């Protein structure tokens, strides 16, 4: 006599699989993704800070004898530029994450050969939850970032 074996899953196995799927999908349901809002604005401010340092470095090298800077393009993007206010070249354009934007327009020029600016500059990034990060570019060319 041949015994028939049952095929399929027990109710316990099905519940375990459903629980695991629920746990794995929790970040998608609560935070809009695996990277939270605070991490998004930090990542965007880190990129802007790095680009400011890059522009200052290019200006200090002065190999091309041009001023270098960073300027507001729109609420969600900025440009790395060279030249001066009358005649400039866009070196690169960067976009911010869709949930992060600038509070105000800005343009920061670093003087060729010395990497300094003509005045202190203050920029603010803000996310849709209201978290703000402040970037300050001092006349000396020093760049600092503060979480508010």
Tens place of pLDDT per residue across the chain (148 aa)? 566 666 777 887 777 778 778 778 766 655 555 556 688 899 999 999 999 999 999 999 877 789 999 999 999 999 999 998 889 999 999 999 888 999 999 999 999 999 999 999 999 999 988 899 999 999 999 999 999 8
120 belongs to a structural domain: yes
Closest CA to 88 of 73, 103, 105: 73
User: Within a 10 A sphere around the Cβ of 4, how many other Cβ atoms?
Assistant: 5
Domain span holding position 66? 37-147
The model carries a pTM of: 0.75
3-class SS of residue 15: helix
31 belongs to a structural domain: no
Element (H, E) at 51: helix 37-61
CATH number at residue 47: 3.55.40.10
DSSP annotation of 5 reads: P
């Amino acid at each position: 006599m041949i015994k028939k074996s049952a095929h399929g899953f027990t109710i316990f196995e099905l519940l375990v699989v459903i629980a695991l799927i629920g746990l794995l999908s929790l970040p998608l349901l609560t935070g809009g993704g695996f990277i939270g809002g605070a991490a998004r604005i930090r990542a965007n401010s880190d990129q802007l800070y790095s680009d400011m340092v890059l522009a200052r470095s290019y200006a200090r090298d002065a190999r091309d004898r041009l001023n270098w800077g960073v300027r507001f393009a729109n609420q969600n993007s900025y440009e790395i530029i060279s030249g001066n206010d009358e005649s400039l070249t866009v070196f690169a354009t960067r976009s911010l994450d869709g949930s992060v934007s600038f509070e105000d327009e800005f343009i920061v020029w670093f003087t060729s050969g010395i990497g300094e600016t003509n005045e202190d500059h203050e920029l603010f990034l803000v996310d849709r939850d209201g978290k703000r990060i402040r970037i300050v570019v001092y006349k000396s060319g020093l760049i600092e970032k503060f979480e508010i």
